[in-house]
Each structure stands twice: as structure tokens, then as C-alpha cells.
Amino acid sequence: MTAPKSRSLAAPHGGELCELIVTDKAAARLREEAIELPSIDLNARQMCDLELLLNGGFSPLRGFMGQADYDSVCERMRLADDTLWPIPITLDISAEQAEGFSSGDRIALRHPEGMLLAVLTVSDIWQPDLQAEAQAVFNTLDEAHPGVFQLLNHSRPVYIGGTLEGVEPPPHHTFKHLRHTPAELRAWFDKLGWKNIAGFQTRNPIHKSHIRMMRHAAGATGANLLIHPVVGITRPGDIDYFVRVRCYQAVMQYLPAQTTTLSLLPLAMRMAGPREAMWHAIIRKNHGCSHFIVGKDHAGPGPGSDGKPFYGPWESRELVARHEEELGISMTPFEEMVYVEECAQHVPLSEVPEGARPLNISGTELRRRLRAGLEVPDWFSYPEVIERLRQAFPPRHKQGFTVFFTGLSGSGKSTIANILNAKLMETGTRPVTLLDGDIVRTHLSSELGFSKEHRELNIQRIGFVASEITKNRGIAVCAPIAPYTATRRQVREMISPLGGFIEVFVATPLEVCEQRDRKGLYAKARAGQIKGFTGIDDPYEEPENAEVVVDTTRHTPEELAHQVLLYLEREGYITSD
């Protein structure tokens, strides 16, 4: 095993940094060795973790966690050696892949395009209890939590841990000049003579209140500022990082250039609230910060299925503050800033004068205004930011959207989808693509059957095509059975950030579909000639949050297509002129 060129940088800028990229000579040897090694192609999430492992952002970790560290982190937020570390950093693989591997093996970890990124020397292979992990790390099993949903639906069932020898970091082709390794940032801070640096984490655009807050927080601690937005994986539905980075670049002119810098962090967030806040603090310490700004609901996952928040508003702040000495980074509280018209400025909520009305605009409200083409007040943001957001969020009638019909076989979804398709073509405002179940199964998924796995793949393909159409501001009308809630949610999450997503549940009862039995398939399924038929011996999980529910027992397909059209008009996706 090749010794990594791990180096130690003394405090004040972050303590020891474990960089795992080996020397060029050693990398050349690893590339040769890897020709003979088994490979794992990493997904986007795993590449984010790998990048921060290799560049020391996750110091003191030296690889993907083994079982002892994993158990200890889940149970007590510490590695097995007692070091504080709140989030499992694990490499998940399929059971089939795991069969070929054993402890001591060396495995090539590759970019999906084949580049060798690192070699893993396996120490542990185990089957984690994902439910127990979700409970320990997220303190809930509610799948409305994006971290829980990801873990329980998309994590593969076996974890493989071990140390890493890094060959090269995952490549990036966007905003290269704004990406820095921890060592690069530390060296930059040293060069500038910065001693105190407050790190600011964000996954949202920055507006006037944030700038006031950052200046306030930095001023209070005499610190310089590192604006350190996450550009890896954030919460589903967030504004994509291309748009956000253009906004960050625009606001830099409103911050003092001598004491502020912007750098992008390729982190895959888990939205784990307090645990996540502590993790963010460790990562910022590794990037050379002496302080870390933590506000209300830091890394909050949004509301649970009962509408209530998963974590207390100040839990993150309290957890980081409680451990700041041991973590080696100070917690700088972030006061919620609001605009007070009477004072014509932003002030901390706690300092709003009596009788004055604090003003703010939430992210959701901002998006509503952008989509509806409504005014965004001057006090809220900078014209350059709003202009960039308006480009990215045109009003709904200029956005792309997907109408996603779901329902049992024979429910009537294809008939309604076809009529809707024709009506939308008639309006002529955008190109329309029909992705009916049968069309897709002929042209996109002809090799697939009806097992759970194949159905999921089929729906994911439809989702992918629809997301591309939506992104490019066209209309996709999809009409598969799509029987599983989790897959439908995945499609929704894929498409929503790019435009509209309208789920239409064609709620025809099974008895009616069976009675109609236009293709004779229900009869065959009852006779046992077709296995795994939806509604008979394969489940159909009814949507609970569909935007439109249509009843084919009381209305004609023509009327129902019109209902959907009216919904689209009401919501602003199509205009009557």
C-alpha cells in the first residue's frame, strides 16, 4: 500500500489535514495495478464523499468507514477512537457486488466514465440495519425526511469500508476557479494573513438579510468571511447550483473584498439537522475556519409528514456550541435578520423596536413571486440577484412541465392523456411529447418485464426523458401505471426543480377496470396466465398527494382531459391568450 502524501498543517488553520491523494509516481503505479483490480463505478453522491475524503475535507477520516466506526458514529456521534464525528461516511454496494469481495481486497473506485479515482483496501464488509441507521442519525423513520428517504430507498444493502489511496479527485468542469481544496484555502488564508475566519454554509441564494447577518456575525467576532456554499447534493427541490453560483458571484460586490472570499463545497448533504451542523463545522475547520456560523434550523430537512419540524429550531446551534472546544472551531450564532421599514434596515429579530413590523420573504414565497412574475421588493434582495433568478425561474407559462398520469391498467389514463396531448398541441405554445405506457414499452423499455425492479427502471426512464423535456421548457405527458409511491416521488424530485410537475391520479376502482378489461389481461391474470399483474397479484400504491384526481366512472375522458387543462390554466402553466 502506498503511503499517502498526508501532511500536517498546524493550527490556527484547522489542525491536521489528511490528504489522501498519492504522489504522481505512486498514482501511475496504482493505474497500472488497477487494470487487474475489480472496479466499482461511483454514483454522484459517493463521488462527493470521495472528493472530501481525498482532499482532507473529511479529516481525520482516511477512507470509507469500517463497521466499528460506523456503529460508534450512529450510536454516539464519535469514531471508535472517541473523536467527534456525527455522520456515517460509508460506501454502499449491491449484494451481487459484495459477493466477490473480501477483507484485504483492493478495489478500483472509478468515475462513471471510467477514470480511476482511488484504490480502496477493504477492511470490512457488512450488511447495515438501515432502519436503525435512519433512527440513530436522523432521529426518525419518516420518509418525508429527504435523508431517510434516500437511505431507505436508494442506499444499496451492503457497506464496504477501508482505507483509500487517491489517484485523482473527481473532475469538475464548472466554476473551476471557485473550487478549492482545504489545503488551498488554508494556504490562501495564510497568504492573506487572515487569522480568524468565519465559515458560512448555504444551499440557497444570498439576499440582503444574509449579507447584513454575515457582516454582523463577522464583525462581532472580528473574523474574515468564507462564503462556502454547497454545490454537491442538497435538498430535493433546491435551486440548482449553476443559478445559485451566479447569484453568489453577483453579491460579492456588496461585501468587503479584503475580508471576504467565496469558495464552493462539493458536499452531499444529508439534511440531518443538529448532527449535520456539527459535521459542517468539522468540515469548515478542515477548510481553515476558526468560526462557523450556525443559524436557526441549520440543515433542516423541511416538515415531516405530520407537518411538524423534525428538529427544534435551535438544536443545531446548541449541539455545536456544546462541543465547540473539542471540535476546535467556535460557533458563531446567526441571528435571524428581518427588515424593519420604520428603520429602513435589516436588524436581528430580537432587536426589532416595539410596535415595528418585521418583514421577510421565505424561499417558497420568493419562488411563488418569480413564477407569477410578481414584484420582489428592493429591501429584500439585489437587482443583480433577482435578474439571475428571473432568468432561471421564468413565469409558469414559460416553464416546461410534466403531466404524470398514474392509475391501474384499463383505468383510462392513456385515453385521457391522448386527448390532453391533442389539446396541448392545439394551443401550440410549447412542443408536447406523449410518453404513454405502451409507447415507452415499445421504444424505450422493450427489454423490460413487470418485476418490481423492471417497473422501477421503466418509470425512472420515463422520469429522465420527461425531466429533459421539462428542463428544455417543453411539455411531457406521461401515462404509465407507475404503481409505487417511492418511484413516483423520485420522478417528482427529479422534475420539480426544472419546471412544473403535475401528478394526475386516474382513480378508477379495480372492479371497474376489471369489468372493462379491454385487453383481456385481467381475465388472464385471474386465470393465472399472467403473473404479477397490477391490482391482482402486484400492488398499486394509491397516490396521496396528486395534484389532480379524476374519476372515470362519472365523467367522460373528454371532460377529464378538460379538467386537467383547467388545472393547468388555473396554476398559470398555460394562458388563455
Task: State the residues that interact with ligand PPS by CB under 6 A.
Answer: 409-410, 414, 437-438, 441, 450, 455, 458-459, 480-483, 519, 521, 530, 532-534, 538
Shortest distance, CB of residue 449 to ligand PPS, whole angstroms?
8
Specify the residue, 197 or 481, whose C-beta has the smaller distance to ligand PPS.
481
Specify the residue, 381 or 458, whose C-beta has the smaller distance to ligand PPS.
458
User: Which residue is it, cell 489545503?
Assistant: 183
Active site residue 545: no
Specify the residue, 203 or 455, whose C-beta has the smaller distance to ligand PPS.
455
Of 140, 202, 415, 534, which one is the catalytic site residue? Answer: 202
Specify the residue, 273 or 557, whose C-beta has the smaller distance to ligand PPS.
557
What is each CA distance from 6 to 28, 265, 375, in whole angstroms? 18, 21, 52
Active site residue 203: yes
Specify the residue, 106 or 455, whose C-beta has the smaller distance to ligand PPS.
455
What is each CA distance from 199 to 75, 230, 291, 335, in whole angstroms? 28, 12, 6, 15
Shortest distance, CB of residue 577 to ligand PPS, whole angstroms?
35
Active site residue 261: no
Shortest distance, CB of residue 475 to ligand PPS, whole angstroms?
19
Nearest to 499 by CA among 568, 445, 409, 444: 568
- Contact status, residue 119 vs residue 4, Cβ threshold 8 Å: no
- Contact status, residue 98 vs residue 125, Cβ threshold 8 Å: yes
Q: CA dihedral in degrees (376, 381, 384, 389; nearest 10)? A: -60
User: Which residue is it, cell 435512519?
Assistant: 134
- 304 forms beta bridges with none
Specify the residue, 102 or 446, whose C-beta has the smaller distance to ligand PPS.
446
What is each CA distance from 177 to 173, 262, 279, in whole angstroms? 10, 10, 25
CA distance 539 to 380: 48
Which string of b and e fits 201-238 if b means at least 16 CB within 10 Å? bbbbbbbbbbbbbbbbbbeeeebbbbbbbbbbbbbbeb
- 163 forms beta bridges with 63, 121
Shortest distance, CB of residue 533 to ligand PPS, whole angstroms?
4
DSSP one-letter code for 343: G
- Contact status, residue 200 vs residue 227, Cβ threshold 8 Å: yes
Shortest distance, CB of residue 483 to ligand PPS, whole angstroms?
5
Shortest distance, CB of residue 156 to ligand PPS, whole angstroms?
22
- Contact status, residue 69 vs residue 80, Cβ threshold 8 Å: yes
Please say whether the dihedral angle defined by the alpha carbons of residues 216, 221, 226 and 231, taken in this order, is positive or negative: negative
Specify the residue, 234 or 409, whose C-beta has the smaller distance to ligand PPS.
409
337 SS3 class: strand
CA distance 184 to 513: 63
Specify the residue, 381 or 409, whose C-beta has the smaller distance to ligand PPS.
409
Nearest to 236 by CA among 151, 299, 146: 146
Specify the residue, 271 or 481, whose C-beta has the smaller distance to ligand PPS.
481
What is each CA distance from 226 to 147, 214, 219, 257, 325, in whole angstroms? 26, 10, 13, 11, 21
325 SS3 class: helix
Q: Point out the residue whose Cβ comes nearest to ligand PPS.
A: 437
Specify the residue, 59 or 409, whose C-beta has the smaller distance to ligand PPS.
409
Of 204, 221, 418, 429, which one is the catalytic site residue? Answer: 204
DSSP one-letter code for 308: S
Please say whether the dihedral angle defined by the alpha carbons of residues 235, 239, 243 and 248, taken in this order, is positive or negative: negative
Of 106, 186, 203, 284, which one is the catalytic site residue? Answer: 203
Shortest distance, CB of residue 417 to ligand PPS, whole angstroms?
10
Backbone angles phi, psi at 469, to 5 degrees: -65, -45
CA distance 14 to 288: 5
Shortest distance, CB of residue 164 to ligand PPS, whole angstroms?
39
- 506 forms beta bridges with 550
Count other Cβ atoms within 10 Å, centred on residue 409: 25
Shortest distance, CB of residue 4 to ligand PPS, whole angstroms?
47
Shortest distance, CB of residue 520 to ligand PPS, whole angstroms?
10
Shortest distance, CB of residue 433 to ligand PPS, whole angstroms?
16
| Residue 319 grid cell | 449541539
Count other Cβ atoms within 10 Å, centred on residue 364: 9
Specify the residue, 90 or 467, whose C-beta has the smaller distance to ligand PPS.
467
Interstrand relation of 224-229 and 197-202 (parallel, antiparallel or unpaired): parallel
Catalytic residues: 202-204
